[in-house]
Amino acid sequence: MLKKFIFTGVLLAIVSWAGNMYYYNSQQLERPIMMKHYYELPKEHIDFFRLHYITNKVEQMDIAWVEFPELGEHHLAISSDQSHDQGNYYQSHKIKTLHLTTYHDSLPKQKEDIILTKMTAHFTNGDSHTYEIGEIVFKESNRGPFQFRGSGGSSDGTGYDNMSSSEMGLEVTDVTIRGHERLGNFSLTINKQEFEPKSKENGITTMKLQGKEEALPIRFLNVKHAFSFESDDPNRFHFYSIIPIINGLKENGEPFKQDFHANYEPYFSEKELKQYMKAAKENN
């Protein structure tokens, strides 16, 4: 009888182990899944940006180097590659991060924005694959009459910028944002005055004072933003680093533009990561 119980226990253990191995193997990726990123970056000086992707927890291959078809003969090199630590560890997968750096000669010399939407990844096993990465925009910076005095952000999608100017008679007329339709319930206040979307043209949304048409007289700027998404909005799983533009007028009527930055990184539970991967596979 004891032998029978032992045999049954061993058999159940083997069946359980085989079931776990089958489930584990069924969850493995043939190649990494690239996540979507919507970034705006200054193109006139050295900068870096991060691209995130999902891979197997026990890697059989990884990304060795990358190319961006829209850059032609220009190249961006990977400066480092590491796990993306959100304090959450997944059962079968992990999120990794490519750190890429732009140099003075790594981008085409052109006045227009440089827009990257695809990346070809070359893997350590010799294979390669071209991914949709979102939209990485390299643009000219706008340095207005304000100087930055402090800024900060939080993992909950909120952030602030404090600026001041020695000039008198400045007025803010509106704020323009690229890709506002992807940002869910994005909110923006300047000196506790709320701005709301008013119009959209060529992918650029104009936000103005809520319920008002007049300009906002200003010398000190306290700009606060908040990213917020509905639970069923797929855009909540993208990475954002955007540069909205504050538009205004000087005392003499001369227009000015002033950049500020807003960033958002998604957080994935185990269930959400599986849902994201399932949707990514279905769309490929």
List the pLDDT tens digit at each of the 284 positions of the chain: 555 555 555 544 454 444 444 344 455 799 999 999 999 998 877 678 999 999 998 888 899 999 999 998 888 888 877 777 666 678 889 999 999 988 767 788 888 999 999 999 999 999 999 999 999 999 999 989 999 889 999 989 999 999 999 999 999 999 999 999 999 999 999 999 999 999 999 999 999 998 776 677 788 999 999 999 999 999 999 999 999 999 999 999 999 999 999 999 999 999 999 999 999 888 76
pLDDT score, position 142: 92
Q: For residue 105, what are the contacts with CB-CB under 8 A and spacing of at least 6? A: 74
Considering the domain architecture, whether residues 153 and 256 belong to the same structural domain is answered as yes
Considering the domain architecture, whether residues 195 and 165 belong to the same structural domain is answered as yes
Number of structural domains the chain divides into: 2
Considering the domain architecture, whether residues 207 and 259 belong to the same structural domain is answered as yes
Is residue 9 in a domain? no
Distances (CA, A) of 77 to 47, 80, 106: 12, 9, 9
Domain boundaries, position 44: 33-139
Is residue 211 in a domain? yes
Considering the domain architecture, whether residues 117 and 155 belong to the same structural domain is answered as no
Is residue 6 in a domain? no
Considering the domain architecture, whether residues 60 and 105 belong to the same structural domain is answered as yes
Considering the domain architecture, whether residues 121 and 153 belong to the same structural domain is answered as no
Is residue 173 in a domain? yes
Distances (CA, A) of 52 to 97, 140, 181: 4, 25, 22
Considering the domain architecture, whether residues 209 and 225 belong to the same structural domain is answered as yes
Considering the domain architecture, whether residues 257 and 159 belong to the same structural domain is answered as yes
**What is the pTM for the complete model shown?**
0.87
